[in-house]
Amino acid sequence: MGRKQKNRIVHKPPLFSRFKPAGIRNDSLKVLALTLDEYEAVRLADYVGLDHAEAAEEMEISRSTFTRLIEKAHHKLSVFLTEGRQLLIEGGNIHFRGNLIKCLDCGHMFEINIENVVTECPVCGSKNLLDLAGGFGHGNCCRKRFRGGRR
């Protein structure tokens, strides 16, 4: 039996978590799951432009683990593009460092540190907020982790 997988650090939840080819109904597409840590690996290496050592440090994993993670993510993305599947970002052993909150009344979106709890929109004062980390089942666990003195 292998050892338990260490939680990886993800900067913030993705804005969008489902992608599909245009003009094809969801129910006729095979789903391909990209984990949140695979998403973060692609974001750090390909979008932000960090090298593997820097990205691994950001995610609090080894460089070799990061390399395996990014290779797996790149393969999934190539399958998504080549075969026209539905891509769903979900799951993985992660903790968020930050969070995105969207006001469902005025549409304002803002980023907060995961340790903070926001109950109303800073623009319109509405309490009708969408917590994106909460949509992935995170929030309380991540707040506890970072309050405990870890990064």
Q: How many other CB atoms are there within 10 angstroms of residue 128's CB atom?
A: 12
Confidence of residue 151 (pLDDT cuts 50, 70, 90): very low
Query: pLDDT tens for residues 43-76?
Result: 999 999 999 999 999 999 999 999 999 999 999 9
Q: Which domains does the chain have, with CATH numbers?
A: 8-94 (1.10.10), 97-147 (2.20.28.10)
Q: How far is CA 26 from the centre of its chain?
A: 22
